[in-house]
Structure 1
Amino acid sequence: MRGERVAEVGDLREANAPRVIEAGGMCVTPGFIDTHTHSDMAAFLGDDHLDLKAATVRQGVTTEVCGNCGSTPFPMLPERREDLARSKAIFAAEDGPWESLAEYREAVGARGLHANLAPLLGHGSLRAGVMGMDNRVPRDDELQTMVRLAEAAFEQGAFGISSGLIYAPGVYARTEELAAICRAVSRHRRPYTTHMRNESDLVADSVREALAIGEQGGVPVHISHHKAAGRRNWGRTAETLEIVRAARAAGRDVTVDVYPYTAGSTMLAAMLPPWALDGGFDAMRERMRDGVVRERIVRDMESGLPGWENFSQLAGWDRIVISSCPSHPDYEGRRVHELADEAGRTPADMVFDLLAEDAQRTLMILHVMDDGDVRNVLGFEAAMVGSDGIPVPGKPHPRWAGTFARVLGHYRREEGLLDLAAWVHKTTGLAADRFGLHDRGYLQAGKVADLVVFDADTIADRATYEDPLLPPDGVREVFINGRAAVSSGRLTSSGRCRRLEEKMPATSAVRWLWGRASSLCYVAMVWAGRVLPGQSLTSSDGAAAMDWGHWSSPRPGGWRI
């Protein structure tokens, strides 16, 4: 490596560099790209949450696609700041003084990052910023304002537009609204990523709606955390993936991502039917204090509503765990039905009480999936890996700290699902291609030096639901933009991260085209994996206080691995 770029790849046993890492028997790959995170505000967490902020880097993640499920910290119209703040329950910190993506990018960059960020534009935040949390169709002028703000965000570097169609206010948006906004930014050729309207009983219909939005909007489609939730739907990923496969065969640009766990995680407010969320979280809190409203919600939970994803039935109260609850941290890691029994309350009343106190900050973990479906999606040719990690204090889902080590350890090595080259491509090049990260995702000369050195025989996730931030085994070195972020398995302070830009310079465009043409070279390098003695990659500016194995005679500015 030289500077922040890969200088050469190949047999470099005769090359010299100021710093050398002996990686015999290890795998050297591009840095992993997490295609689905909620790390938009992680940079604003305090230093006492370092383990939380750096959990992804420790498993080899060098780039995070954030702003998923329709929720982003921008755009922020001054007159709608309060509405937007109420819509963003998934974040762990307060809103900042920015209004646009460009201003948010500057604020995040000033705080320092542990991994590169590739932000999407959240449709839910866009809608809340223009028309509040109301359950209605936008007026023509409101739709035009959303279009204008979306175009501005894409000009400022948005990597796509996301929707969260089970969350307010996205749940109130019709297909036509989403397609119209996508159509307005279609010239950028960035994907529409979606937490679909339903991932359980109506999962097939929801896949078809996502495809319709992409077709009407003229944009690629990326289905987030694809699953089949609820025991009665287990096995249905065979059906939904066939729909996606048929669309791809017909020339449609559609992909999916998945996390390697049978439990999901989201805000506790998702337990409520959509009508109970109308008007935002303040209005919802008032409803939670009304006994008549509570009774109506319980009836809906028992009987269901058309199209509503009813988690109380899909999971059952004994399979719902409180993961983050600032008002009652002693509840974290406890099952709802256990808390209810101890308090002499019904599980529904326990949920209502928590929402009345702390609606925006209480998160849950739901055990609703089957491992057979997880395997189906992981093995799908157009599937990539996204942790869906939510970096919040408490006992977050272990996927934030364990996803990439788990796919390489458990599913590849222990279960024999796909080979190493396929997994590396899913977690690097495939993801880079989908989100237009033209200088990343491939181990080639001229690309940005985002690299991971790991042991394929020992890499394994250690994060659990009880101890969710345990770092993985087997990840030895991580480089981000040419600087060491993890050394000998330990986090360093020298990792330098960049704020990713939407515009691709001409030189990068040439490198990207060449990289696509020479992808076979990349695959061969990854398949070889276990670096031969003397086989090397040569970056500059390492921290002299660290032990890098041994030193060799200097070659101007560089690392050699």
Structure 2
Amino acid sequence: MIRLLTFLLGICFLASCGVSADLLIVNGSVMDGSGSPAQELDVAVRKDRILRVGPEIKMRAKRVIDAEGKIVSPGFVDIHAHIEPLTTMPEAESHVRQGVTTALGGPDGGGPLPLGKYLDDLEEQGVGMNVAYLVGHNSVRNQIMGLVNKAPTEGELKAMEALVAKSMQEGAFGISTGLKYLPGTYAKLDEIIALSRIAAREGGIYTSHLREEGLGLIEAVSEAITISEKAEIPVVLTHHKAMGQPMWGKSRETLAMVDAARSSGLDIMMDQYPYTASHTGISVLIPAWALEGHQITEFTKRCEDPVLRDSIKAGIMDNLVNDRGGGDLRRVQFSRFNWKPELEGKTLYDWAVAEGREPNIETGAELVIEAQLHRGANCIFHAMDEQDVRRIMQHPFSMVASDGRLSTPGKGHPHPRAYGTFPRVLGYYSREEGVLPLEEAVRKMTSLPAQRIGLPERGMIREGNYADITIFDPATVKDEATFEDPHQYPTGIEYVIINGKLAVDNGVFQHKLPGEVLRKKHSKK
């Protein structure tokens, strides 16, 4: 407070110097994003850039923020975000109020096409945070080949390569795969390598929802490492986890594989959300062959054949026991279920009991079939072990990422990561549990993902960088969203500055669109 009064008394002198800022942040503890401890520094912002960083900056400013007792951090960079609703939720409030200033969309193989037109439309509309995109392999394959289980012809492969190249030229930062999902699950290794080479030539990265995160996890990590080697491309094992009780503890092996790959010269990293539950469509429990062609109509036809239906049910039962089902119907929780919205927030177990059926694995499989026959549902799968979460979080090359979908209060029953990922790491895992030092937690959500994406002027507080800044209270920052009541914004995120403009001001969301649509600058190898 004394320094703030000194600043105000010096305004008349400073006016004669002709040096001014639009925003001056004083008295804060600056964590620059590098992993270094906080320093007592001021930060001056002019327009969309950081003008000066240093002790006791004396400069005229249109607005002064007294950040005493607060951490002044780079804005958080979400390297795995489901921002598909951005056209209807352009302010991205559920992300921005977590302190996120930049998000990478198009994960899990699902990037928008044609990308250039999509980015143009977003620019015209305006966005609440900075957004960048990957080109999605599933989107590319579906456009060229549809949902068929076969290898591409030479012509189809060339068409896919051309579409990836076009998307890279239009601004994609790399390619994503969703090898657990249709139609990516039908792709063989050589197809993925060929398309990844196209992205690599433009300086892009590869992010992968692995082919398996349960019983086939080790083989799936090995596949991703092979892709990095053969395509000569940096790889991110996205939302890295060990899914299902038989695999709990296997993160020791996967992390050792990452370390060995890095020691051999490969560029392998991971991202992770800080929860023991995943979130995806209920169809993830269904064998991929049963969904080929069309996930509803062809699936319905197969279910009308008693022999095929029995095979489908057996495959679902296996997944309920060994994979995302976690061996207990209580572990499968509905987040969005248009056919039965009254079940949102409830579980497969609750559904079975409500219908007077025995809540066992066989009943659960039958209910999964019923759900898919009625256009499916989204579910939260409580099937991960806390020790794996902590072990992955502590790895020096794991990044914090939400895998969260833009959400708005009252709509559906989303995974709490949509509202709480970044504050949860800062509050629960760093402050309360001591899993990470605070400066390391900040590094994992700022400079590390910014560098991975290829955004050298974001992710760190330094002069000349874009003014993406998050100011939070280290004593109170906390995720409030829960699995029972997910629609809750976090506390302790007091200011969010995006390209020099206040998006959150003293805890109040400003309903502005200060973000930029980012396009990769080409750096061919």
Q: Is this contact kept in 2: 1:301–1:313, CA < 8 A? A: no
User: Does 2:491 align with 1:473?
Assistant: yes
Q: Aligned residue for 1:188?
A: 202
The separation in 2 between residues aligned to 1:35 and 1:309, in whole angstroms, is 31
User: Does 2:66 align with 1:54?
Assistant: no
- 3-state SS, counterpart of residue 163 of structure 2: helix
Give the alignment's TM-score, normalised by structure 2: 0.86
User: Does 2:393 align with 1:378?
Assistant: yes
Structure 1 residues 341 and 28, CA, compared in 2 at 3 Å: closer, same or farther? Answer: same
Q: Is this contact kept in 2: 1:288–1:356, CA < 8 A? A: no
What is the Cα deviation at residue 106 of structure 1? 1.6
* 1:168-210 CA-partner distances (Å, limit 9, x unpaired): 1000000110001111232222211001111112211111100
Q: What is the letter of the counterpart of residue 341 of structure 1?
A: V
Q: Aligned residue for 2:382?
A: 367
Which of 463, 485, 494 is the aligned partner of 2:503?
485
Structure 1 residues 101 and 55, CA, compared in 2 at 3 Å: closer, same or farther? Answer: same
Which of 349, 359, 373 is the aligned partner of 2:366?
349
Structure 1 residues 272 and 459, CA, compared in 2 at 3 Å: closer, same or farther? Answer: same
The separation in 2 between residues aligned to 1:276 and 1:111, in whole angstroms, is 40
What is the Cα deviation at residue 211 of structure 1? 0.5
What is the Cα deviation at residue 495 of structure 1? 4.2
The separation in 1 between residues aligned to 2:314 and 2:442, in whole angstroms, is 48
Q: Is this contact kept in 2: 1:200–1:228, CA < 8 A? A: yes
Structure 1 residues 309 and 486, CA, compared in 2 at 3 Å: closer, same or farther? Answer: farther
Q: Aligned residue for 2:181?
A: 167
Q: Aligned residue for 2:71?
A: 27
Q: Is this contact kept in 2: 1:387–1:399, CA < 8 A? A: yes
Q: Is this contact kept in 1: 2:86–2:406, CA < 8 A? A: no
Q: Is this contact kept in 2: 1:265–1:363, CA < 8 A? A: yes
The separation in 2 between residues aligned to 1:379 and 1:333, in whole angstroms, is 31
User: Does 2:86 align with 1:43?
Assistant: yes
Q: Which runs of 5+ in 1 are unaligned?
A: 75-99, 506-561
* 1:381-425 CA-partner distances (Å, limit 9, x unpaired): 100011111235301100111000000111111111221221111
Q: Aligned residue for 2:129?
A: 115
The separation in 2 between residues aligned to 1:482 and 1:309, in whole angstroms, is 50
Q: Aligned residue for 2:349?
A: 337
Q: What is the letter of the counterpart of residue 168 of structure 1?
A: L
Q: Aligned residue for 1:499?
A: 517
Structure 1 residues 402 and 258, CA, compared in 2 at 3 Å: closer, same or farther? Answer: same
What is the Cα deviation at residue 504 of structure 1? 6.9
Which has the higher mean CA deviation after the structures are superposed, 335-344 or 283-292?
A: 283-292
Q: What is the letter of the counterpart of residue 374 of structure 1?
A: V
- 3-state SS, counterpart of residue 7 of structure 1: strand
Cα-Cα RMSD: 1.9
Which of 414, 417, 436 is the aligned partner of 2:432?
414
What is the Cα deviation at residue 285 of structure 1? 4.4
- 3-state SS, counterpart of residue 201 of structure 1: coil
Q: Is this contact kept in 2: 1:6–1:448, CA < 8 A? A: yes
- 3-state SS, counterpart of residue 470 of structure 2: strand
The separation in 1 between residues aligned to 2:427 and 2:276, in whole angstroms, is 16
The separation in 1 between residues aligned to 2:459 and 2:147, in whole angstroms, is 38
Q: What is the letter of the counterpart of residue 257 of structure 1?
A: D
Q: Is this contact kept in 2: 1:301–1:312, CA < 8 A? A: no
Q: Is this contact kept in 1: 2:270–2:397, CA < 8 A? A: yes
Which of 250, 255, 258 is the aligned partner of 2:264?
250
Q: Aligned residue for 2:42?
A: none
* 1:342-381 CA-partner distances (Å, limit 9, x unpaired): 124532222222211223xx20000011110000010001
Which has the higher mean CA deviation after the structures are superposed, 460-469 or 374-383?
A: 460-469
Please list, as runs of the form range in 1=range in 2, the aligned pairs for 1:91-106 lying within 5 A after superposition.
Answer: 100-106=114-120
Please list, as runs of the form range in 1=range in 2, the aligned pairs for 1:6-405 lying within 5 A after superposition.
Answer: 6-39=50-83, 41-45=84-88, 53-74=92-113, 100-287=114-301, 290=304, 292=306, 293-302=308-317, 311=323, 314-345=326-357, 346-359=363-376, 362-391=377-406, 393-405=411-423
The separation in 1 between residues aligned to 2:452 and 2:230, in whole angstroms, is 20
Give the alignment's TM-score, normalised by structure 1: 0.81
What is the Cα deviation at residue 464 of structure 1? 0.7
Please list, as runs of the form range in 1=range in 2, the aligned pairs for 1:509-548 lying within 5 A after superposition.
Answer: none
The separation in 2 between residues aligned to 1:241 and 1:261, in whole angstroms, is 18
Structure 1 residues 46 and 431, CA, compared in 2 at 3 Å: closer, same or farther? Answer: closer
- 3-state SS, counterpart of residue 503 of structure 1: coil
Which of 449, 473, 477 is the aligned partner of 1:459?
477
The separation in 2 between residues aligned to 1:128 and 1:6, in whole angstroms, is 43
Q: Aligned residue for 1:435?
A: 453
- 3-state SS, counterpart of residue 77 of structure 2: strand
Q: Is this contact kept in 2: 1:265–1:365, CA < 8 A? A: yes
What is the Cα deviation at residue 454 of structure 1? 0.5
- 3-state SS, counterpart of residue 484 of structure 1: strand
Q: Is this contact kept in 2: 1:480–1:495, CA < 8 A? A: no
Q: Is this contact kept in 2: 1:271–1:310, CA < 8 A? A: no
* 1:65-95 CA-partner distances (Å, limit 9, x unpaired): 1111111221xxxxxxxxxxxxxxxxxxxxx
The separation in 1 between residues aligned to 2:62 and 2:290, in whole angstroms, is 62
- Identity between Structure 1 and Structure 2 (%): 38
Greater strand proportion: 2
